[in-house]
A and B are shown apart, each in its own frame.
Chain A
């Protein structure tokens, strides 16, 4: 049975009517038209659907919308603003990281939360923290550079 779920996305209050088991990803993409989180696998294996829920990275493809009721969701589009991109976004732009760009939500949302808790990470910590996030185009080298660059900005 469909129910109504209200929550906040990128600072705006929203409501969707859906089966409680429907993943948040479908609520964001198909019901609300917020398409920057992507469908990559639907199995919590790639990260392409990652958003923040009350500040913590979550794979929206396996998160039932019913669990989000009353919570604060942030997508990649809400991470920074055009005037003030998040330092990670700026670092991604400066390093020219993306090729196709389909993987970005996974890396940026996961790394943003990671850097908040680990402002001065070692290379090894960054590599470990990003376990399970995929990039098929192989932009890994540039990703490393960008995360390190952002860490410098953030801890400066």
Chain B
């Protein structure tokens, strides 16, 4: 399918009178023609214009322009529900367009599960304001006071009088201003004068709605970023340095002469091949002979990584929590507990390596990207090519799930660089190793917990300290070439942001200190081990340590893990979520697991975490096989409070996905490397959870808080998993596993030592 066909399909669907097109890759032409009756033209695409958010089509249906996007978790469906609700239109009559810089405002792309928490609010306010404006117009037309009117599915009525949205504005612009906080990205806020609906009035929000796109995917009809073509495009593959940190010395172009149309694209240390046919580009990338500068051993031996972190000097240090007098309290402790935890480097390892199409030529240079930040991708491509930003258009096309800043951001900049160099549209798809070995990594770290108990077993002091690589060697977006490999391999010096994390919890220990230190990157420029945001950045890492440690302290105090946590938590939502999980799992305080007895050992573990206003509690049940060391995370009971629930249908599968991916990270995932290169290059060298090791059951209790705003459900349950598993392993074996991943080999070794 080429892009012209896509635009035709979008056009067709745009004019459909019924049925919503959930994902649209529309061109502005279609919008313009649908709204052509407007006398004064389209207002500029600015957040303070209502027309930037909501359009009422000639048939009275609505289009919502969402400047974030859905990464397969149904955020678009929730936005569709929200807009339908506030506009008083049937769900099916709302269409959501996402992630096109020519059609949507920059709301930050998919980011930190803020889709609804932040992104949805703008649409909610805009839709409510649109309804208010429409009702006011109807009041004038009908000669009835606005507060005497009600709306049902786009029909405004009072007694027997009625007028439709279509009659009122269909196909025309609102030309109506909103209040805007002058920010772009995640913090963008807009507001009108309308009053939002009360939860008790909801008809659409809070009900389960299917994602129509699921059918498209399952039937093999969905077009991904990897599946589109543009006329005249050529295929590209990148060639990364064999050893990290090496410079490009020479390229033997003759080595690919036998491949028709293949040629080399080179700029400083950036290297790629292009060819007319995709397979030829692949072959050329494999055949190309390249001379790189000698190995420079930028990395420590992998086995010493965590000692390397312990010994490294720090680049930044913060102590966000420092309450009471921790050091003083330790002096009089009846009992002191100390433990250290280690987390490895991990890869996004997206299902498909990234792909992008760039045409940096002509009047409107274009980028098609699967990255979750198309607005920022546009800026990055403009900067690296020197093309003025205003000329450029970037369009998001769904890609393989990315879970943060994966290699998709690098791919877009690479494609732009190649397209500019050869003057043609370029489709660049990465190979598996370009994704697993070269994506930005989730950071490794060392975490230390210390606690003092008094004679009665109360926590007298609590001290938590995290040290590791920053979570942002590259920024969360690809807006600046310094944050992409294309930039770093050419003329842009990297500059990371130093940021780490402490646990998100609310334990009320009187003397409490939580701090962190970041350490320098092992290799500054063009590193395959550079860090970037990966699914709930630092969430599983930090809370594996903190919630494992709480369990150790509870055990030292001879307390039940659930009762111990409740003793130190006072916030109502924390308490409620913990009680709900314990109840769901039928948790019994006097029950113990196998504690090291037998061949197939069973145990249960508990963990509780918070993330940006969402609280989660989780019980895990594991089976540990003595002979093989296999840990089967067999059952989970999860209680989940993310404020208001928009679509209870999709939330459950989203939570399941979070839990399953976290099991994989806890039990299997670790990026392997030697001193010069990453050795995790594919699924054999970076295994993830198989169906054979999938839990038998995950039971979820959703706590709905319709009086609150939605707090995000895309990630919070992810961070609760590692400690719940580790604590269950303790209950099963009596052994504290303090190093992730808890592979069968590590488990076997630990059992042999015990």
Contacts and interface: CB of A to CB of B under 8 A. Distances in A.
Interface of A: 18-19, 22-23, 26, 29-31, 33, 35-36, 38-43, 45-46, 48, 75-80, 82, 85, 89, 92-93, 96-105, 108, 123, 126-128, 130-144
A38 B352 contact: yes
B302 interface: no
Contact of A133 (B210, B649, B691): B691
Given A92-B218, A136-B688, A138-B661, 10 more contacts: A35-B227, A38-B224, A41-B432, A41-B683, A96-B210, A98-B72, A99-B73, A101-B217, A108-B218, A141-B660
Nearest to B259: A19
Contact of A130 (B398, B653, B690): B690
B650 interface: yes
Interface string B644-669: 00000110011011111100100000
- What are the 10 tightest A-B residue pairs by CB atom distance, in nearest-first order? A138-B660, A99-B72, A77-B220, A36-B220, A101-B217, A76-B220, A100-B401, A35-B227, A138-B661, A45-B683
B694 A98 contact: no
The secondary structure that dominates the A interface is: loop
A42 B694 contact: no
Contact of A77 (B210, B221, B650): B221
A92 B657 CA distance: 15
5 contacts: A26-B282, A89-B218, A99-B73, A104-B220, A140-B656
B349 A131 contact: no
B691 A80 contact: no
A41 to B, nearest CB: 4
B682 A79 contact: no
Contacts of A105: 220
Given A18-B279, A19-B279, A93-B215, A136 B351 contact: yes
B511 to A, nearest CB: 39
Contacts of B429: 39
Nearest to B278: A30
Contact of A138 (B215, B219, B278, B689): B689
B458 interface: no
A135 B278 contact: no
B353 interface: yes
B353 A127 contact: no
Contact of A98 (B218, B658, B691): B218
Contacts of B692: 127-128, 130-131
A100 B656 contact: no
A140 B73 CA distance: 15
B351 A98 contact: no
A28 to B, nearest CB: 11
A100 B71 contact: yes
A141 B656 contact: yes
Contacts of B657: 99, 137-139
A92 B71 CA distance: 18
B494 interface: no
Contacts of A138: 656-661, 664, 689
A28 B341 CA distance: 48
B492 to A, nearest CB: 29
Contact of B691 (A39, A43, A79, A140): A140
Interface in B192-236: 210-211, 214-215, 217-224, 226-227, 229, 235
Interface hub of A38, A101, A135, A144 (most chain B Cβ within 10 A): A101
A126 B217 contact: no
A145 B27 CA distance: 39
A45 B682 contact: yes
Contact of B214 (A39, A96, A131): A96
A3 to B, nearest CB: 14
A47 B684 CA distance: 13
Contacts of B277: 30-31
B300 to A, nearest CB: 29
A141 B277 CA distance: 39
B431 interface: yes
A33 to B, nearest CB: 7
Interface of B: 1, 71-73, 210-211, 214-215, 217-224, 226-227, 229, 235, 277-279, 282, 349-353, 398-401, 403, 429, 431-432, 649-650, 653-654, 656-661, 664, 682-684, 688-692, 694-696, 698
Contacts of B235: 30
B353 A85 contact: no
A98 B217 contact: yes
Interface hub of A45, A89, A102 (most chain B Cβ within 10 A): A102
Contacts of B73: 99
Contacts of B688: 134, 136
A82 B221 CA distance: 10
Interface hub of A41, A75, A77 (most chain B Cβ within 10 A): A41
A48 B217 CA distance: 13
A93 B223 contact: no
A137 B211 CA distance: 16
Contacts of A132: 690
A122 B333 CA distance: 55
Given A77-B221, A104-B218, A136 B432 contact: no
A43 B218 contact: no
Contacts of B278: 26, 29-30
Contacts of A76: 219-220
A88 B399 CA distance: 23
B351 A80 contact: no
Nearest to A107: B691
A38 B422 CA distance: 27
B214 A98 contact: yes
Given A92-B218, A101-B217, A43 B279 contact: no
B546 to A, nearest CB: 23
B660 A140 contact: yes
A103 B431 CA distance: 16
Contact of A136 (B210, B220, B401, B691): B401
Contacts of A142: 653, 656
Given A18-B279, A96-B649, A136-B401, A39 B217 contact: no
Nearest to B690: A131
A10 B704 CA distance: 46
Contacts of A101: 72, 214, 217-218, 222, 224, 398
A79 B219 CA distance: 8
Nearest to B432: A41
A33 B351 contact: no
Contacts of B221: 36, 77
B694 A140 contact: yes
Contacts of B650: 96
Contacts of B218: 85, 89, 92-93, 97-98, 101, 104, 108
